[in-house]
Amino acid sequence: MSFEIDNTIVLLYYDTNMNWITTNIRFPEEEYLELKMEALRHRKSVAQLIRERVFEKKVSKEKNTEKLMRELDKVASENAKVLKGKSLSKLLIEMRYEQ
């Protein structure tokens, strides 16, 4: 079976919403072989497996940021109860100049 590549196929290949960038990553041979075996088990390319792993890290960082923001909101609410309308910024400035 032979395939002909015509202009339509070439345009479909290059006409995607993403601009892909090719990069070169060096792995120790043992780690690369482990990645290759895992990719085979999941029927994916090594490149796809690496992209998924990179994306997982990005998602977990975003979740950590959301968690941190919730914790900061909680602390801010507790501080507001204790300060009862006083400005924390003003209090910190006063403390700074008292020294």
Tell me what the mean pLDDT of segment 5-27 comes to: 67
Confidence label for 54 from pLDDT (cuts 50, 70 and 90): confident
Residue 60 CB-half CA count within 13 A: 6
CA 71 and chain centroid, separation: 20
Mean pLDDT of the chain: 79
- Asked if the model's pLDDT at residue 7 lies above 80, the reply is no
Q: Domain boundaries in the chain?
A: 28-98
- Asked if the model's pLDDT at residue 99 lies above 80, the reply is no
16-20, 44-48, 82-86, 93-97: least confidently modelled range: 16-20
Top-confidence residue, 60 or 8: 60
Residue 56 CB-half CA count within 13 A: 6
Taking only the tens place, the pLDDT of each residue in 73-88 is: 888 888 888 878 788 7
Tell me what the mean pLDDT of segment 22-33 comes to: 92
